[in-house]
Amino acid sequence: MEFGQRLAAPASGHGAAELGDLPEWNLADLYSGMEAPELKRDIAKAASDAIAFETRWKGTLAAEAGRGGAGRLGEALQTYEALEELIGRIVSYAGLVYAGNTADPQRAKLYGDVQEKMTDASAHLLFFALELNLIDDAAIESALAADKAFGHYRPWVLDLRKDKPYQL
């Protein structure tokens, strides 16, 4: 077969119409539908909470690490984790709804709108990992040992710090 040559579908006589109704994912564990008030509420919450998180924590992480057991890096990471989970839930729902029928314009609009809004929200969280990696290794180790809530995230923090040499 040459590069760029397309494979023809086998002549089996089984077209999509002959398959009948196909199963569809039950996404009720995430949201009850594309117009669910909970989905709209969570989209707005993710956007506002991301801005509040940035306002509260940006520029303070090194000072919090320096406070040892009195520092609040654990609190910051718990809040960050909750925000990332909320954004992940919203994006997962929209992506799965869209994947269920990519030809449906309502699904495509939901997916596009969610992608845009969650990208905007995530932009307010971007500083967090970068700023954590600017903190001196000894200060991070001290904070991990002194702040029990922060220490809970030791594996994540140490994994994040592997990226430190590659950050600008």
Q: Are 74 and 148 in contact (CB under 8 A)?
A: yes
**Distance (Å, whole) CA 7 – CA 1:** 9
Give the number of other CB atoms < 10 A from CB of residue 17. 6
The percent of residues in the chain predicted with pLDDT above 70, rounded, is 90
**How do the domains of the chain map onto residue ranges?**
37-166
Which residue type does 125 have?
L
Contacts with 94 (C-beta within 8 Å, 6 or more apart), sequence order: 110, 111, 113, 114, 115
Give residue 14's pLDDT. 57
Tokens of 44: 């707005």
Give residue 107's pLDDT. 97
Mean of pLDDT values over 89-109:
97
CATH homologous superfamily of 37-166 = Oligopeptidase f, N-terminal domain (1.20.140.70)
Give residue 22's pLDDT. 75
